[in-house]
Amino acid sequence: MSKVIVITGASSGIGEATAKLLASQGNKVVIAARRENHLTKMVEEIKAEGGKAAYKVTDVTKREQVESLVNFVIETYGQIDVWMNNAGIMPSSNFVDYNYEEWEAMIDINIKGVMYGIGAALPKMRERKTGHFINISSIAGHHVWPGGGIYSGTKFAVRAMSEGLRQEEALAGSNIRVTIVSPGAIETELVETISDPKAKAGMQALYDAVQIPASRVADTIAFAINSPEDTCLNEIIIRPTIQL
Protein backbone atom coordinates (compact mmCIF):
# COMPACT_ATOMS: atom_id res chain seq x y z
CA MET A 1 0.00 0.00 0.00
CA SER A 2 1.31 3.45 -0.93
CA LYS A 3 2.16 5.58 2.11
CA VAL A 4 3.10 9.21 2.68
CA ILE A 5 6.53 9.11 4.32
CA VAL A 6 8.40 12.10 5.74
CA ILE A 7 12.14 11.86 6.38
CA THR A 8 14.23 14.49 8.18
CA GLY A 9 17.96 14.65 7.48
CA ALA A 10 17.23 13.14 4.08
CA SER A 11 19.86 15.00 2.04
CA SER A 12 22.52 12.30 2.53
CA GLY A 13 23.35 8.97 4.15
CA ILE A 14 20.67 6.83 5.76
CA GLY A 15 17.87 9.33 5.06
CA GLU A 16 18.74 9.57 1.36
CA ALA A 17 19.02 5.79 0.93
CA THR A 18 15.73 5.23 2.74
CA ALA A 19 13.88 7.90 0.75
CA LYS A 20 15.05 6.45 -2.55
CA LEU A 21 14.16 2.89 -1.59
CA LEU A 22 10.71 3.79 -0.25
CA ALA A 23 9.96 5.92 -3.33
CA SER A 24 10.96 3.01 -5.56
CA GLN A 25 8.37 0.90 -3.68
CA GLY A 26 5.57 3.26 -4.73
CA ASN A 27 5.38 5.47 -1.64
CA LYS A 28 5.16 9.27 -1.68
CA VAL A 29 8.20 10.65 0.10
CA VAL A 30 8.76 14.11 1.50
CA ILE A 31 12.42 14.79 2.14
CA ALA A 32 13.64 17.49 4.50
CA ALA A 33 17.07 18.86 5.46
CA ARG A 34 19.00 22.14 5.20
CA ARG A 35 20.94 21.64 1.92
CA GLU A 36 18.43 22.56 -0.77
CA ASN A 37 20.72 21.61 -3.68
CA HIS A 38 20.89 18.02 -2.41
CA LEU A 39 17.12 17.86 -1.94
CA THR A 40 16.26 19.21 -5.40
CA LYS A 41 18.68 16.76 -7.02
CA MET A 42 17.17 13.85 -5.10
CA VAL A 43 13.60 14.80 -6.04
CA GLU A 44 14.66 14.99 -9.71
CA GLU A 45 16.32 11.56 -9.46
CA ILE A 46 13.29 9.97 -7.78
CA LYS A 47 10.90 11.48 -10.34
CA ALA A 48 13.15 10.36 -13.21
CA GLU A 49 12.72 6.80 -11.89
CA GLY A 50 8.92 7.23 -11.91
CA GLY A 51 8.62 7.86 -8.17
CA LYS A 52 6.70 10.53 -6.24
CA ALA A 53 8.64 12.98 -4.09
CA ALA A 54 8.62 16.51 -2.76
CA TYR A 55 11.03 18.42 -0.57
CA LYS A 56 10.98 21.19 2.03
CA VAL A 57 14.06 22.88 3.38
CA THR A 58 13.86 22.32 7.13
CA ASP A 59 16.15 22.91 10.08
CA VAL A 60 14.87 20.51 12.74
CA THR A 61 16.17 22.74 15.54
CA LYS A 62 13.54 25.33 14.62
CA ARG A 63 10.14 24.23 15.89
CA GLU A 64 8.24 26.52 13.52
CA GLN A 65 10.10 25.02 10.53
CA VAL A 66 9.18 21.48 11.61
CA GLU A 67 5.56 22.59 11.98
CA SER A 68 5.72 24.17 8.50
CA LEU A 69 7.01 20.85 7.17
CA VAL A 70 3.91 19.12 8.56
CA ASN A 71 1.65 21.72 6.92
CA PHE A 72 3.53 21.29 3.63
CA VAL A 73 3.07 17.51 3.71
CA ILE A 74 -0.66 17.83 4.41
CA GLU A 75 -1.09 20.39 1.61
CA THR A 76 0.94 18.26 -0.82
CA TYR A 77 -0.18 14.71 -0.04
CA GLY A 78 -3.09 15.08 2.44
CA GLN A 79 -1.83 12.88 5.26
CA ILE A 80 1.20 11.56 7.15
CA ASP A 81 1.59 7.79 7.40
CA VAL A 82 5.23 7.60 8.46
CA TRP A 83 7.49 10.22 10.06
CA MET A 84 11.19 9.34 10.26
CA ASN A 85 13.18 11.40 12.75
CA ASN A 86 16.61 10.85 11.24
CA ALA A 87 18.52 14.16 11.22
CA GLY A 88 21.58 13.93 13.43
CA ILE A 89 25.22 14.87 13.93
CA MET A 90 28.05 13.26 15.92
CA PRO A 91 30.70 15.81 16.97
CA SER A 92 32.38 13.51 19.48
CA SER A 93 35.12 14.74 21.80
CA ASN A 94 36.20 14.35 25.42
CA PHE A 95 34.61 16.36 28.23
CA VAL A 96 37.96 18.07 28.93
CA ASP A 97 37.80 19.57 25.43
CA TYR A 98 34.84 21.80 26.44
CA ASN A 99 33.38 21.96 22.92
CA TYR A 100 30.13 23.41 24.23
CA GLU A 101 29.09 25.06 20.99
CA GLU A 102 29.02 21.89 18.91
CA TRP A 103 27.67 19.78 21.78
CA GLU A 104 24.78 22.20 22.21
CA ALA A 105 24.14 22.06 18.46
CA MET A 106 24.14 18.25 18.67
CA ILE A 107 21.68 18.27 21.57
CA ASP A 108 19.43 20.64 19.62
CA ILE A 109 19.45 18.49 16.47
CA ASN A 110 19.56 14.98 17.94
CA ILE A 111 17.13 15.52 20.85
CA LYS A 112 15.04 18.65 20.27
CA GLY A 113 14.72 17.82 16.55
CA VAL A 114 13.10 14.50 17.46
CA MET A 115 10.89 16.14 20.08
CA TYR A 116 9.68 18.75 17.57
CA GLY A 117 9.10 16.07 14.92
CA ILE A 118 6.96 14.00 17.25
CA GLY A 119 5.09 17.05 18.52
CA ALA A 120 4.30 18.32 15.05
CA ALA A 121 3.31 15.05 13.37
CA LEU A 122 1.47 13.33 16.24
CA PRO A 123 -1.77 15.40 16.04
CA LYS A 124 -2.11 14.57 12.33
CA MET A 125 -1.65 10.87 13.04
CA ARG A 126 -4.05 10.95 15.99
CA GLU A 127 -6.75 12.55 13.81
CA ARG A 128 -6.64 9.42 11.61
CA LYS A 129 -5.84 7.00 14.49
CA THR A 130 -2.93 5.60 12.53
CA GLY A 131 0.71 6.41 11.89
CA HIS A 132 4.28 5.26 12.38
CA PHE A 133 7.32 7.00 13.84
CA ILE A 134 10.75 5.71 12.87
CA ASN A 135 13.25 7.26 15.28
CA ILE A 136 16.95 6.83 14.52
CA SER A 137 19.03 6.16 17.61
CA SER A 138 22.37 4.30 17.43
CA ILE A 139 24.34 1.52 19.05
CA ALA A 140 25.67 4.56 20.91
CA GLY A 141 22.18 4.65 22.44
CA HIS A 142 23.04 1.31 24.04
CA HIS A 143 26.77 1.64 24.79
CA VAL A 144 29.08 4.52 25.70
CA TRP A 145 32.70 5.01 24.68
CA PRO A 146 35.30 7.64 25.72
CA GLY A 147 34.65 10.83 23.75
CA GLY A 148 31.14 9.69 22.93
CA GLY A 149 29.36 10.54 26.18
CA ILE A 150 27.28 13.43 24.88
CA TYR A 151 26.46 11.79 21.53
CA SER A 152 25.43 8.67 23.44
CA GLY A 153 23.36 10.85 25.77
CA THR A 154 21.42 12.17 22.80
CA LYS A 155 20.86 8.68 21.42
CA PHE A 156 19.80 7.23 24.80
CA ALA A 157 17.35 10.15 24.86
CA VAL A 158 15.93 9.18 21.46
CA ARG A 159 15.23 5.69 22.82
CA ALA A 160 13.64 7.08 25.99
CA MET A 161 11.40 9.51 24.08
CA SER A 162 10.39 6.76 21.67
CA GLU A 163 9.47 4.29 24.40
CA GLY A 164 7.47 6.92 26.28
CA LEU A 165 5.59 7.79 23.10
CA ARG A 166 4.97 4.13 22.30
CA GLN A 167 3.46 3.46 25.72
CA GLU A 168 1.28 6.59 25.61
CA GLU A 169 -0.09 5.71 22.20
CA ALA A 170 -0.66 2.07 23.16
CA LEU A 171 -2.62 3.22 26.24
CA ALA A 172 -4.62 5.64 24.13
CA GLY A 173 -5.43 2.90 21.60
CA SER A 174 -4.42 5.26 18.81
CA ASN A 175 -2.82 2.54 16.68
CA ILE A 176 0.33 4.63 16.22
CA ARG A 177 3.51 2.57 15.91
CA VAL A 178 6.96 3.61 17.15
CA THR A 179 10.11 1.93 15.88
CA ILE A 180 13.59 2.73 17.20
CA VAL A 181 16.39 1.91 14.75
CA SER A 182 19.90 1.74 16.24
CA PRO A 183 22.58 1.36 13.56
CA GLY A 184 26.26 0.56 14.01
CA ALA A 185 28.93 1.86 11.61
CA ILE A 186 27.22 2.86 8.37
CA GLU A 187 28.98 4.54 5.45
CA THR A 188 27.57 8.09 5.38
CA GLU A 189 28.76 11.68 5.95
CA LEU A 190 28.35 11.36 9.74
CA VAL A 191 32.06 11.06 10.61
CA GLU A 192 32.56 14.41 8.82
CA THR A 193 30.65 16.07 11.68
CA ILE A 194 33.50 15.31 14.11
CA SER A 195 35.72 18.40 14.39
CA ASP A 196 38.30 17.03 16.82
CA PRO A 197 41.08 15.64 14.53
CA LYS A 198 42.11 12.82 16.89
CA ALA A 199 38.55 11.67 17.53
CA LYS A 200 37.77 11.89 13.81
CA ALA A 201 40.83 9.83 12.80
CA GLY A 202 39.98 7.15 15.34
CA MET A 203 36.37 6.97 14.23
CA GLN A 204 37.32 6.96 10.53
CA ALA A 205 39.70 4.05 11.12
CA LEU A 206 36.89 2.06 12.74
CA TYR A 207 34.48 2.91 9.91
CA ASP A 208 37.04 2.04 7.22
CA ALA A 209 37.48 -1.35 8.84
CA VAL A 210 33.85 -2.37 9.32
CA GLN A 211 31.28 -0.03 7.72
CA ILE A 212 28.35 -1.26 5.63
CA PRO A 213 26.27 0.78 3.11
CA ALA A 214 23.31 2.92 4.14
CA SER A 215 21.10 0.77 1.89
CA ARG A 216 21.26 -1.98 4.55
CA VAL A 217 19.54 0.31 7.06
CA ALA A 218 17.06 1.42 4.40
CA ASP A 219 16.09 -2.22 3.76
CA THR A 220 15.50 -2.72 7.49
CA ILE A 221 13.37 0.42 7.81
CA ALA A 222 11.30 -0.63 4.80
CA PHE A 223 10.72 -4.00 6.47
CA ALA A 224 9.46 -2.29 9.64
CA ILE A 225 7.17 0.03 7.68
CA ASN A 226 5.79 -2.78 5.54
CA SER A 227 5.04 -5.09 8.48
CA PRO A 228 1.32 -5.59 9.33
CA GLU A 229 -0.23 -2.59 11.10
CA ASP A 230 -1.21 -4.63 14.18
CA THR A 231 2.46 -5.45 14.68
CA CYS A 232 5.15 -3.04 15.79
CA LEU A 233 8.86 -3.70 15.49
CA ASN A 234 9.71 -1.68 18.59
CA GLU A 235 13.47 -1.72 18.38
CA ILE A 236 16.04 -2.82 15.87
CA ILE A 237 19.84 -2.91 16.26
CA ILE A 238 21.62 -3.28 12.94
CA ARG A 239 25.40 -3.35 12.65
CA PRO A 240 28.15 -4.73 10.44
CA THR A 241 28.65 -8.42 11.17
CA ILE A 242 32.29 -7.78 12.05
CA GLN A 243 31.65 -4.79 14.35
CA LEU A 244 32.07 -5.47 18.10
Residues with active-site annotation: 151
CA distance 143 to 167: 23
Q: How far is the CB of 222 from ligand NDP (least distance, A)?
A: 16
Beta strand extents in 128-227 (DSSP E only): 131-136, 176-183, 186-187, 212-213
From its phi and psi, is residue 188 left (phi > 0), alpha (psi between -120 and 50) or beta?
A: beta
Q: Residue 185 gets which letter from DSSP?
A: S
Beta strand extents in the chain (DSSP E only): 4-8, 28-33, 52-57, 82-85, 131-136, 176-183, 186-187, 212-213, 235-238
Q: How far is the CB of 15 from ligand NDP (least distance, A)?
A: 5
Interaction of residue 89 with ligand NDP, rule CB under 6 A: yes
Residue 129 or 143 having the CB closest to ligand NDP: 143
Residue 138 or 162 having the CB closest to ligand NDP: 138
Interaction of residue 69 with ligand NDP, rule CB under 6 A: no
What are 57's strand-pairing partners?
A: 33
Interaction of residue 18 with ligand NDP, rule CB under 6 A: no
CB 234 within 8 Å of CB 166: yes
The count of residues interacting with ligand NDP (CB under 6 A) is 30
x-or-dash pattern for ligand NDP, window 109-128, by CB under 6 A?
x-------------------
Interaction of residue 161 with ligand NDP, rule CB under 6 A: no
State which of residues 5, 6, 7, 60 lies at the interface with ligand NDP (CB under 6 A): 60
CA distance 176 to 180: 13
Residue 27 or 154 having the CB closest to ligand NDP: 154
Instruction: Provide the binding-site residues for ligand NDP, judged by CB under 6 A.
Output: 8-15, 33-35, 38, 58-61, 86-90, 109, 136, 138, 183, 185-186, 188-190
